[in-house]
Amino acid sequence: MSWELLLSLLALCALLALVVQLLRFLRADGDLTLLWAEWQGRRPEWELTDMVVWVTGASSGIGEELVYQLSKLGVSLVLSARRVQELERVKRRCLENSNLKGKDILVLPLDLTDISSHEAATKVVLQEFGKIDILVNNGGKSQRSLCVETNLDVYKELIELNYLGTVSLTKCVLPHMIERKQGKIVTVNSLLGIIAAPLSSGYCASKHALRGFFNGLRTELTSYPGIVISNVCPGPVQSNIVKNALTTEVTKTLGSDGDQSHKMTTSRCVRLMLISMANDLKEVWIAEQPFLLMVYLWQYMPTWAWWITNKLGKKRIENFKKGLDADSSYFKTWKTKHD
Ligand SMILES: NC(=O)c1ccc[n+]([C@@H]2O[C@H](COP(=O)([O-])OP(=O)(O)OC[C@H]3O[C@@H](n4cnc5c(N)ncnc54)[C@H](OP(=O)(O)O)[C@@H]3O)[C@@H](O)[C@H]2O)c1
């Protein structure tokens, strides 16, 4: 075979490989490291058994689905949020659908903004189970309002709940993990902790702050390789987050979910979270296209990212003002074409 033919064949193979990777990226619903871990990495079913896992925001959405999937792995669970009745409902469903017994699940009401209660809550968990293997900082709220129309109290609430509440609980649990030289602190951040979007400036700020805090904390724990700090950054996922989103006043929530069909299913998001936890990934991006592409652009091509964000952002505000879900109408067409 001549050198020319060999080189042409190699070039063709490289081109084919590139096309295949591009097609895979178009269908991806997580960053490429995460999807690699899903394919070749450790399985949650092997790695996450016999653990004590404390989940905040367990009464709804991502946290609720997470405890259902964790209960099937046979872990002991601590369910926290403010609404006890909802937590009891979630506990009952866990018991119905898994081999766990009542004593394996502790319902522990907790308000993340009431930081004076966090130390006592941590003691209760340690008294009950003797250890905390994984803390999942998941409880939080979003925002749908323009900065210029929004009361400062909304910004305070988002920082106190999403940021300070999470930092406070982490600080209560961390000494225990340091003593044992092991543990995982998994924080449900958001793509909006990396990128930005209109109508969510306070939410973006709280999630960017969280990412900075946990990235900083990780650098302080290099002497404890057994303690894993993990930032999970989902894009839009089906839950009650939009319904509960704060608007212009701290007492006002959006009150309706809107159309959620363009969002990732809660079960898929949680499965990818479990894979991340089993493989000790430091940061994962969980989102379907085109949200995933946006975060890659923000990370690697910020000038392009700003150009697109400004165009889409304008549309997002228009949608919102018409009473539509901020994202659904303009991404729906794209998603339908690729399903
Ligand atoms: N769904 C998405 O599209 C999406 C995307 C990116 C990131 N996230 C993040 O995912 C996490 C979970 O949200 P979700 O989508 O599952 O929304 P969700 O269905 O509204 O659930 C939010 C949870 O947070 C709890 N919570 C709210 N305020 C609290 C407080 N003061 N103290 C303790 N718990 C509180 C709620 O329970 P109680 O009301 O009973 O207290 C509820 O269990 C949030 O951190 C959110 O920022 C969601």
pLDDT tens, position by position, 222-249: 999 999 999 999 999 999 999 999 999 9
Number of Cβ within 10 Å of residue 9's Cβ equals 11
pLDDT at 261 over 90: no
CA distances from 137 to 24, 48, 96, 235, 329 (A): 31, 17, 25, 17, 31
Select from 29, 80, 188 the residue to mutate for testing ligand 1; criterion: most ligand atoms less than 8 Å from CB: 188
Chain mean pLDDT for the chain: 94
57 lines ligand 1 (CB under 6 A): yes
pLDDT score, position 324: 79
CA of 191 to the centre of ligand 1 (A): 15
pLDDT tens, position by position, 21-42: 899 999 999 999 999 999 999 9
160 lines ligand 1 (CB under 6 A): no
User: What one-letter code names the amino acid at 293?
Assistant: L
CA distances from 36 to 118, 279, 317 (A): 37, 10, 36
Which is catalytic among the residues 203, 224, 296, 300? 203
pLDDT tens, position by position, 39-66: 999 999 999 999 999 999 999 999 999 9
pLDDT band per the 50, 70, 90 thresholds, residue 339:
very low
63 lines ligand 1 (CB under 6 A): yes
Q: Which atom of ligand 1 is nearest to the CA of 239?
A: 19
61 lines ligand 1 (CB under 6 A): yes
CA of 53 to the centre of ligand 1 (A): 17
pLDDT tens, position by position, 266-293: 999 999 999 999 999 999 999 999 999 9
CA of 242 to the centre of ligand 1 (A): 10
- Please, which residues bridge with residue 166 across strands? none
CA distance 119 to 110: 11
Q: Whose CA is nearest to atom 6 of ligand 1?
A: 190
Q: Which CATH class is domain 27-301?
A: alpha beta
The reply to whether 203 belongs to the active site is: yes
Angle made by CA atoms 126, 122, 189, in degrees to the nearest 5 = 120
DSSP notation for 319-333? HHHTTS-TTHHHHHH
pLDDT score, position 333: 54
Query: What per-residue string of b and e applies to 298-335 under the rule 16 or more CB within 10 Å gives b?
Result: beeeeeebeeebeebbeebeebbeeeebbbbbbbeeee
Instruction: Quickly count helices (H) and strands (E) in the chain.
Output: 13, 7
- Per 3-state DSSP, what percentage of the chain is helix, strand, and coil (rounded to 5)? 55, 10, 30
pLDDT > 90: percent of the chain:
88
pLDDT band per the 50, 70, 90 thresholds, residue 327:
confident
CA distance 116 to 125: 16
